Each structure stands twice: as C-alpha cells, then as structure tokens.
Chain A
Amino acid sequence: MGRTSTETASPDPTHAPVPGDRRIVARGVTRRFGPKTALHPLTLEIGPGVVTGLLGPNGSGKSTFMRILTGLVRPDAGSAAVDGVPLRGDGTAIRRRITYSPGELHLYGEMRGAEHLTWFLRGRGAAARARALGMAGEMGLPLERRVRGYSHGMKRQLVFAAAMAPDVGVRILDEPTDGLDPSARSIVLEQLRADAARGTTILLSSHHLDEVDLVCNRLVFLNEGRLVADETMADVRERSSRIVIFTWGPDADISGIENRLEVHGVDSVRREGARVTVSLTSADPRAFLARFAALEGLPAPASIEHGLLSLKELYRELYGVEAC
C-alpha cells in the first residue's frame, strides 16, 4: 500500500516555492462546507513534470482540492503553492501561471465557440487564442456555431482546448475526458501525453481508470476528503505482478477457501463471493500455483488471472466499489 496522509505530512522543508518551479505543493489544506468536512488536512507535493491522477469516488474531495489550488475556494486552514506561487487572496496570481478546466460544464449558450475561446483566454495573449482555435478546429468543433447547440462532449472539448492552449507549466484538469466519445477521448489523451512529454506538470481527476493508466505516472487516491493512497504507476504495476485472482462458478463450494490458500508465499487472501484475490510475497506465482494445484478437494476455478491488478482492482481494494 502506498503512503498515507500521515506519511506525506512532512514534505521537504527546503522545497520553498520558486516562481516557475512547476510544482504543486499543499500543506495541511483543509476545507469545510457547513458541518461537512470536504477536505481533511491534506498534504501533497507533486514534482515538476509529473502527471498525477487524482482518483476517488464522488464527494471524495477531488474537485474541492483542485478548486483550492486554483484559488476558487478558500481553504479553512493550510497553505498551498502552485508553480512556485503561494496561494493568496482569490488566487489570481496562480491562475495566471496555470490553466484550469472545471469538472462541471456550464457555458454561455448564446456565445459562439470561437467567442468562448476568446473569453476563456482573456489575458493569455493572441498566440494562446490562435493555438486554441487551431486545436478546436482539429477536433472538428463548429466554432461559428453557438455553444447552446453543442453536445456535452463538444463543450468538454472546447474547454479542453482552452485549457491546453496557453503555454504554462502546470495544468489542473477536473475530469477532462468526461462525456467524450472514444475517438475524442483518445485525442485528448494523446495531447495530454504530448504535453507531459514537454515537461508540463498535470494534475487531473478522472473516473476512467483506463485513461489514468495511460497518461499518469502517479496516482493519488482520496476518499471522504482524506488521502488514502499515493502511489506511482510503477508501484501499482509491481503490486499487480504479485496478485493472483481466482474466480469460481456460482455453484462452486469454496467455503473456508481463505484459510486453505494461506500457504507459504502468500501475503494476504481476500474473498468477495466467488472471487478470491491472493496477494503474493513474490512476483513469481509458479510456486504458489503449484501448491494450489496440490490442494485436495477444491473445485476447479473458472478462471485464474495473474499480473492483471488493474487500477480497477486497486480502486476496488481501496473503496470496495467498482470504478468505471
């Protein structure tokens, strides 16, 4: 399991903000909405050029955290700095150095697509506007049409083009692929990868674990406003190589299976109905599978999977719910 919030609560004090450092630093950031604590003290540091996926179920605090980083929501406690600029006042200084794409999409229906891009990119310069227009054009958006005639996916692409066009060191994107069809999603993911390759720090939230798997090199999991896991993709892949998943048919009698699988080389066994997840101490499952084959009286499993611990599995492990 990755680091917990307690473990990450003491970032390197030498990491003082330097303008343009492309880092995202949050220290003890807290936010309450009435009696509900949306974000418990959260400390997180994201280094330059890292693409970080912020994951968690609805209401886990992802959007609140992103809004705090962009100055849209004031934290009740704690401090933050983005791209070397400390969060102060309404966060304008930060928003000048980053781009932000909100999760909830409500645009001005009476404005045309091109007008909207100009409106979004106020203060970003003509070059950013030209890039956004070019990008939106490549996505096939009808920029002369009023936005009220756009589908949800088209609006998402328009906002994405506005968020990707400015030449900044940090982008904060709240569910950038929400509502996109597979081809539009692949274009967006490709652009994110290309942007990350140029060294841009990207913090994105998503419910689509497959796309997070494709573009992120770090994963931060939130639940009920708390940091529950913080892992690199390499950690996740290493962990996946130690997992074996058995699935039996619905009529198979596998009572007491957990105890029987607790053999040498097994770290833990978890059963959910007819599905049993075994975590091994080593990445090589051959010895374990040999011991499993030798167990007597066990019905034959319908499937055995190894090395397939996807983000979905990790998500399920952390939250006990299925992700998209």
Chain B
Amino acid sequence: MSRQARWYTLLGLVFFIVLEALLAAAIVWWPSFAENVKTLKTMAAPLPWLREQIELMESTGVSGYVVGQHYFKACNTLGAAAAVLFAINAVAGEAHRGTLEIWMGRPVSRTRITTERYVGGLLAIVVPVFLSSATIPALLATVDATMTYGELALCSIHSSLFLACIYTTTFLWSAMDSQPLKIAVGMLFFSVFQFSIYVVKTITHYSLFRIVDLEQFIRITIDDELKVWIELGMVGYCAAVYAGALWVVHRRVP
C-alpha cells in the first residue's frame, strides 16, 4: 500500500470510529429519549428551532431520531470538518512544505496524481459514512427497533454527496493556495456561518445545511427515494469544481 493510501486509510478509520462511537451512544440512549421527549420539548421551548427538531423526531419515531443523530448531527458536523481537513493538504500542503516540485516531477501526469489524491480523500469520508450506516440495523436490534438498509443507503448517498461538495470545494482552494491553515480557517468559518444562519428561522432558507437537515433525511426515509435533481445537482457541482481544480493544478508552478 502506498504512503498516500495508508494515510487516507488511517484518516478514514479514525473518522469511522468516531462516527460509530457517536452512533452507538445515540442508539443506546434512544429508549431514554423516547421516555423523556416531553421533558426535552419543555426544555427546548425557548429555542423554537430545537423544539421543532425534537417534535420531528418524536413524530417519526426511531427512524427520525436515528437519521437526526447520525446524518444531521454527526455526519454534518464531523463530516464537514473531516471533509475540510482531508482536502486542505491535497496540494497546498505540498506547496507549504516545499515538496510540490518532487510531487509533480515524477513521470506521472498531474491529472493522475491529483485524481488519486482526490479519490483517496473522498473515499476516506464517504466509506465511513456508509459503513457506520450499515451497522445501524444491528445496533437498533439492541433496543428492539428496526430500520431498513435501503432507506439508510439513500440517506448515506445524500449525506455523502453533500460532504463531497464541501470536500471538493476545499480541494479546489487547496489547488490554488499554499497555506493549509488559511484554507482550514476559511472553510470552517464558512461552515459555521452556514450553520448559524440555518438556526435562524427567518433566514434559514439561505443556508446550505437546508439540503441536509433533519427534514430532508426524514423525507428520504418516508418516501424511500431521493430527489434526483438535488443529487444530480450535487454530483454536477462536484464534477465542475473538480474539473476546475484539475485545470488549476495543470497550470500551477511548483
């Protein structure tokens, strides 16, 4: 296994372990949540946004609770952070430590080395999302609840595509810049800003997190299907931004 493959495997493994730990804790806590949901609603009364989320989970039962905990909370927050962290060093990291010339100087095309790096990081984000989702039915069995693999797979696709958009955007920035820290701060600020406008009811529709909020995941589990135009839109966005990153890398001076 190459050095890069080992690195992405390690990152993916760490991401998976953290996701799985949060998921297991959340499912173990499900009976308590169901029992105390009224109290939780009372506590969340001063925060209309939070109260609505709890009501949504209450009305949809265990599936709403699980997608809320896993996709909306864990994947969106940790996943966004992982997407940024896994992409910032792709090209900017090489420039920052001065290895860009030897990285590009081997007899391998820039398209190939860039694509290898892009795919490696993307898999390190997407695979843990799918793998952890695949353990949900088994974990739910411990609390006498069920969800199908089909609905979870659809939620995983939706969540992964959103994370891919964040990852690809960061990757493009990395292809253009030489300061990984600047990219990290910029992207994390952007993510926090997007989430902050998401929780403000009057402007929530301007937030990108609307694409991956609890409502969306619950809709997917109920309809048992994805809205193709949203998914294709995200795929198209990733493809276009990645093409831009390739263009930049090809013109970059080491």
Contact = CB atoms under 8 A, between A and B. Distances in A.
A102 B105 contact: yes
Contact of A120 (B97, B102, B110): B102
Given A102-B101, A120-B102, A108 B108 contact: no
B106 interface: yes
B109 A73 contact: no
Interface string B1-38: 01100000000000000000000000000000000000
A96 B107 contact: yes
A95 B107 contact: yes
Interface string A100-144: 101010111001000100011011100000000000000000000
Contacts of A115: 3
Interface string B174-200: 000000000000000000000000000
Contact of A92 (B101, B107, B254): B107
A33 B253 CA distance: 10
Contacts of B108: 92, 122-123
Contacts of A159: 102
Given A111-B3, A115-B3, A95 B254 contact: no
Interface residues of A, number: 25
A306 B250 CA distance: 53
Interface string B67-111: 000000000000000000000000000000111011011111111
Contact of A95 (B106, B251, B253): B106
B105 A107 contact: no
A70 interface: yes
Contacts of A106: 97-99, 101-102
A67 interface: yes
Nearest to A108: B99
Contacts of A120: 102, 106
A92 B251 CA distance: 14
Interface string A284-323: 0000000000000000000000000000000000000000
Interface string B211-254: 00000000000000000000000000000000000000011011
Instruction: Give the bracket for the number of chain B residues in contact with chain A.
Output: 10 to 19
Interface string A76-107: 00000000000001101001100010101011
B105 A95 contact: yes
Nearest to A31: B253
Nearest to A94: B107
A96 B112 CA distance: 14
A95 B104 CA distance: 10
Interface of A: 33, 67, 70, 72-74, 89-90, 92, 95-96, 100, 102, 104, 106-108, 111, 115, 119-120, 122-124, 159
A95 B2 CA distance: 21
B99 A107 contact: yes
Given A104-B98, A106-B97, A122-B108, 19 more contacts: A67-B253, A72-B105, A72-B253, A72-B254, A73-B254, A89-B109, A90-B104, A92-B108, A95-B106, A95-B107, A100-B105, A102-B102, A102-B105, A104-B101, A106-B99, A106-B101, A106-B102, A119-B3, A120-B102
A31 B2 CA distance: 35
A226 B107 CA distance: 29
Nearest to B7: A110
B46 to A, nearest CB: 50
A123 B102 contact: no
A84 B3 CA distance: 34
Contacts of A119: 2-3, 106
A24 to B, nearest CB: 17
Contacts of B110: 90, 92
Contacts of A95: 105-107
B3 A70 contact: no
27 contacts: A33-B253, A67-B254, A70-B105, A72-B253, A72-B254, A73-B254, A89-B250, A90-B104, A90-B110, A90-B250, A92-B109, A96-B107, A100-B105, A102-B101, A102-B102, A104-B98, A106-B98, A106-B99, A111-B3, A115-B3, A119-B3, A119-B106, A120-B102, A120-B106, A122-B106, A122-B107, A159-B102
A73 B250 CA distance: 10
Given A90-B250, A111-B3, A72 B101 contact: yes
Nearest to A110: B3
